[in-house]
Amino acid sequence: MISIKQLSKSFKTKDQTVQAVDNVSLNIEKGDIFGVIGYSGAGKSTFVRLINRLEDPTDGEIILNGQDMTDLSKSQLRLERQKIGMIFQHFNLLWSRTVYENVAFPLEIAGVPKAERESQVLELIELVGLKGREQSYPSQLSGGQKQRVGIARSLANDPKVLLCDEATSALDPETTDDILDLLVSINEKLDLTIILITHEMHVIQKICHRVAVMEQGTVVEQGDVLDVFMNPQSKTTKRFVQQLNPQEGSVDELKEFITSDDHSEVVKLHFVGHNAKRALISDVSKQFDINVNILQGSISPTQEGAYGTLYVEFQGEPETIESVMNYVMSTGVEVEVIKHVE
């Protein structure tokens, strides 16, 4: 487990002191893919650079691999950093070196014998899907291939933790998904703990188990991805969740789709996990004397299961509507009454 306690970082400028990270505390379990999301200036990139001491913290503790990273000497820190891989938004490859030579570079620095180095490098290149491109130079690769080289290089010293600082921000959507799939595969094959910094909620949704939301240097919300998506508490989190369902309108925007002049209820149904696959509306229509007007809906997959929302109008007698909502709740689907329509 990685334990981060009351971590802070301030920068002094000529005119003021900037608090980039402010009293952040997080626990990250071994083998997790942990996302840290925030808008530009939230402090997330500074935060990730504190973990491997590319930046020195002003205060706090970083317990990693049983060591407090803030207490290490320079020589001890060099050794501990070998257990932490890092990939970057703009790849940071050596442009005068081939794919093979880029991946081999950390092993050269670590003094790994040439024969052993060769087998490790070829294995890593195959792991990231670049077999056959060993002698290519970065200028001959696509953006996604360059990031695969960066990932292979970051794994060269067999790290226990992989830090990803906006690793997909420079990539198109299809290539982003390919890189995220690769990270999930590596996480499973190597039991590697991944800390992923991003400003894209799609990235969190697709591969993360847990997430922390940062704003102005602080963590304003954290928890399991599914819980945070279903019940966002902070204003910032709600804005990020809205990115995934931009079509989700307000009640006023839904009014034009409400058809009944009789008594009815407009409700929002929350589906989680296996409930997202239920034929619930069909069941309701068969079992109750009621009309169901589907107003709007969406479903999104996450690493912890699918979740979805569905806005519906139930049209019928009040007693029947009440029975329907009790039935829906009994199936494990959360019901939120949006508006009584008279």
Q: How far apart are CA 292 and CA 73, in angstroms?
A: 67
Q: Which residue has the higher pLDDT, 37 or 315?
A: 37
Q: In the chain, helix, strand, coil percent, each to 5?
A: 40, 30, 30
Edge to edge, the sheet with strand 193-198 lists: 84-88, 161-165, 193-198, 33-37, 210-215, 218-224
Residue 186 scores a pLDDT above 50: yes
In this prediction, residues 140-168 reach a mean pLDDT of 95
Report which secondary-structure segment, H or E, holds 70. Answer: none
Predicted confidence (pLDDT) per residue in 92-116, tens digit: 999 999 999 999 999 998 889 988 9
CB contact set of 338 (below 8 Å; sequence gap of 6+): 251, 266, 267, 268, 311
Strand ranges, E, within the chain: 2-12, 17-28, 33-37, 59-64, 67-68, 84-88, 161-165, 193-198, 210-215, 218-224, 264-272, 291-300, 307-315, 334-341
Q: How many CA atoms lie within 13 A of 121 on its CB side?
A: 22
In this prediction, residue 303 carries a pLDDT of 74
Supply the pTM of this predicted model: 0.82
- Name the least confident of 24-28, 116-120, 220-224, 272-276: 272-276
Residue 140 scores a pLDDT above 80: yes
Domains (ranges, CATH) in the chain?
2-244 (3.40.50.300), 251-341 (3.30.70.260)
